A and B are shown apart, each in its own frame.
Chain A
Amino acid sequence: MFGYLILTILVFTLVAYFVGQTAGRSFALADRQTHSLPGYHGAFVAVWVGIPALVLALLWVALQQPVIDRLVIGSLPGALTSGATPAQLSLILSEIKNVAAGQIFAEPSPDVKAAADLYVRWQDIARWAMFAAAVALMLLALVIARSKLAPRFRARTGVERFITGMIIFCSVVAILTTVGIIASLVYESLEFFRRVPLHEFVFGTRWEPQMAIREDQVAGAGAFGVIPVFTGTLLIASIAMLVAVPIGLFTAIYLVEYANENVRRVVKPVLEVLAGIPSVVYGFFAVLTVAPAVRAAGGAIGIVMSPNSALVAGGVMGIMIIPFISSLSDDALKAVPRTMRDGSLAMGATRAETMIKVLLPAAIPGIMGGVLLGLSRAIGETMIVVMAAGLIATLTFNPLDSVTTVTVQIVTMLVGDTAFDSPKTLAAFALGLMLFLVTLTLNVIALRIVQKFREQYD
């Protein structure tokens, strides 16, 4: 039904467009002094007809269900509803809905049967009412909008205003979503900090979140010190950056300055493929291929290392980040005007001198942007570390040791049996908030750097 309604609205909108356009044409034929082109008259009427009906339909669909539920509950005999908790009520309601949909497991009571019939009837009525209301609204809008059209009517301005409004609406949706996510993070984190004090969380050096969630479980008392988890994240992210920055940057330099067209035609798409590999694939590459190899290599020269070493997770993550850094640096280097390059070469500078002294300084904002974007990725990356890094939070800077990261901890806390009011679960939100703050800070720094240098180098 809703689909038909949308279709009807579309048809009406189209008709409205042609009505408006025809009117506009007739104005144009009669008089050269019309304000707007016929297309704008058409679009104006179409907007008037289509948008209110669409909004009405969406609101109707959103509000219909609760109203009908309320009506059906109200129709039930008092004996059934009096003294029932909301949970029991919703149980009765879902039974009614099941019966209405024909999914009957046991013979329902006559009351429920009657309510189900009522439910079906209300739904039918609501559907038709929605249809009728929408069509009436559209007809009304068509008449009003058409009556507004006149040779000097500013249909173009009206359409322009609609487009502005739509654009604002879209950006507001994006912003509101962000605000909503942050709000839920902050809310749950506050719940967490009510149970675990903030200073214990921020400065604690022990992370043992596997506490009992029921009385009969045997588990640790729980310790929520975030420092070892963050050092793990930073260790792995630093290793990743140590791999990705030099390789990515030098790849970009090679592609921009040294490679000829043929090489570039092959290498660039290959790098893009690297960027397209899902991180879970990198994850099992790390676990199944790199980790055993690194461990064997370590064993051969007498180094004992853990199978889940930070080195492996960070190294593989670095490979994943290479395309980010190389492609952003590539863009930044290419954006340096050719005249700079020519100027330096014409001074008798070699290509390497030109690169180091002129191109890199000029491209630094873009390159820094790429590096910090890569770092944000490294810190927020989940899949590789879930698979290749450890679960135990050790406070260490030894890359051969097993460490855990913030993202890994969030995952392990939220999978499996969880109670939503236990600090263990809520800690995930606190960690998420911390992670968000860290990456936000990095992004702000990146923006700052880019702005600062842009002023200087334009």
Chain B
Amino acid sequence: MNVMQQATTSPIEIRTPKMPAMEGRAVSVFYGQKQALYDVSLAIERNQVTSLIGPSGCGKSTFLRCLNRMNDTIDICRVTGEIRLDDEDIYNRDIDVVELRARVGMVFQKPNPFPKSIYENVAYGPRIHGLTRSKIELDEIVTSSLRRAGLFDEVKDRLNEPGTGLSGGQQQRLCIARAIATRPEVLLMDEPCSALDPIATAVIEELIDELRENFTIVIVTHSMQQAARVSQKTAFFHLGKLIEEGHTSDLFTNPKNKQTQDYITGRIG
């Protein structure tokens, strides 16, 4: 645990601690003619877990996917507004998407390990970004990433076996290890536990809490309990609009908005 933390003292913490890690300003998203997100402004605080909640189709995943421009892969998708990462608009022409995605990693809803060995899965990012100079360094990154994802002890004897052979929960932790191996500043998680059983979910939630020390995390979740358990800040989306945001404890115990209250008490959604 200690070794791990030393290894990951990232440069972000040296920068202005007050400034949010990412900030969306008046973000609107259109899929063709259809508008999916309306003027969302939301700050993602550094080294915190921010959870995005709301009923299906409310735009929370769409917003998440704007944060590392994964929406670019959808031809008909158009984004307006501004999203800042360290005071730089990531939709600026000068931004290299490849570099952006190395800084803003992502974990998907369904575990999606590559059809490669466990080792190669984790080494994927460091390899394509040339983060290491030697095999020893690469080994070290792979080991430390797996360890930090709480998977190392379970797989250390079979690093060369295919990642697809692991259980669902292990696969998801492998994907987390893969995402943090590039040492991103922000980690986006799109319903990372929705395909997992309760035990695997508990393991991942614990992991998220630990990862918060080194990463800024944004998590989309359907489970309000999960949002309450893991996050410090919560944003409630409904029908493409950001309805309410605030400290998780405030939002769940004392919602200001009627819609938020209805949702968290189970009346809508």
Q: Which residues of A contact B (CB under 8 A)?
A: 260-261, 337, 339-350, 353, 357-358, 361-362, 456-458
Contacts and interface: CB of A to CB of B under 8 A. Distances in A.
A340 B100 CA distance: 19
Contacts of B179: 346-347
A456 B124 contact: no
Contact of B108 (A342, A353, A357): A342
Contact of B125 (A342, A347, A358, A362): A347
Interface in B71-110: 73, 75, 97-102, 105-106, 108, 110
Contacts of A358: 114-115
A337 B109 CA distance: 13
A343 B108 contact: yes
B105 to A, nearest CB: 7
A343 B181 CA distance: 14
A125 to B, nearest CB: 72
Contacts of B70: 342, 345-346
B101 A345 contact: yes
Given A340-B112, A353-B128, A346 B105 contact: yes
A348 B114 contact: no
Given A340-B112, A362-B115, A347 B73 contact: no
Interface of B: 68, 70, 73, 75, 97-102, 105-106, 108, 110, 112-116, 124-125, 128-129, 162, 164, 175, 178-179, 182
Given A342-B70, A457-B164, A350 B114 contact: no
A348 B99 contact: yes
Nearest to B101: A348
A357 B73 CA distance: 18
B109 to A, nearest CB: 8
A457 B125 CA distance: 20
Given A342-B108, A345-B101, A348-B128, A260 B73 contact: no
Contact of B102 (A339, A340, A347, A458): A347
B86 to A, nearest CB: 16
A337 B182 CA distance: 23
Contacts of A337: 112
Contacts of B115: 340, 358, 361-362, 456-457
6 contacts: A339-B110, A340-B115, A343-B108, A344-B114, A346-B108, A456-B115
A343 B98 contact: no
Nearest to B178: A347
Contacts of B108: 339, 342-343, 346
Given A347-B105, A456-B115, 5 more contacts: A260-B75, A346-B70, A347-B124, A347-B128, A348-B98
Contact of B73 (A261, A342, A362, A457): A342
Contacts of A340: 112, 114-115
A341 B98 CA distance: 14
B124 A344 contact: yes
Given A358-B114, A361-B115, A458-B164, A346 B106 contact: yes
B102 A348 contact: yes
Contacts of B102: 347-348
Nearest to B76: A261
Contact of B175 (A343, A350, A357, A458): A343
A367 B210 CA distance: 43
Nearest to A354: B128
A173 B242 CA distance: 65
Contacts of A458: 164
Given A344-B124, A346-B70, A347-B101, A339 B162 contact: no
A353 B127 CA distance: 11
Interface-central residue, B70, B101, B115, by most chain A CB under 10 Å: B115
A340 B102 CA distance: 17
A276 B73 CA distance: 34
A349 B98 contact: yes
Contacts of B99: 348
Contacts of A457: 115, 162, 164
Interface-central residue, A261, A341, A349, A361, by most chain B CB under 10 Å: A349
Given A337-B112, A457-B115, A348 B182 contact: yes
B68 A357 contact: no
A343 B128 contact: no
A358 B121 CA distance: 10
A342 B70 CA distance: 8
B146 to A, nearest CB: 16
Nearest to A353: B128
Nearest to A358: B114
Contacts of A357: 114, 124, 128
A161 B73 CA distance: 51
A386 to B, nearest CB: 43
Contact of B112 (A260, A339, A353, A361): A339
Contact of A343 (B112, B162, B182): B112
A353 B102 CA distance: 14
A261 B75 contact: yes
Contacts of B112: 337, 339-340, 342-343
A340 B70 CA distance: 13
Contacts of B113: 343
Nearest to B120: A357
Contacts of A342: 70, 73, 108, 112
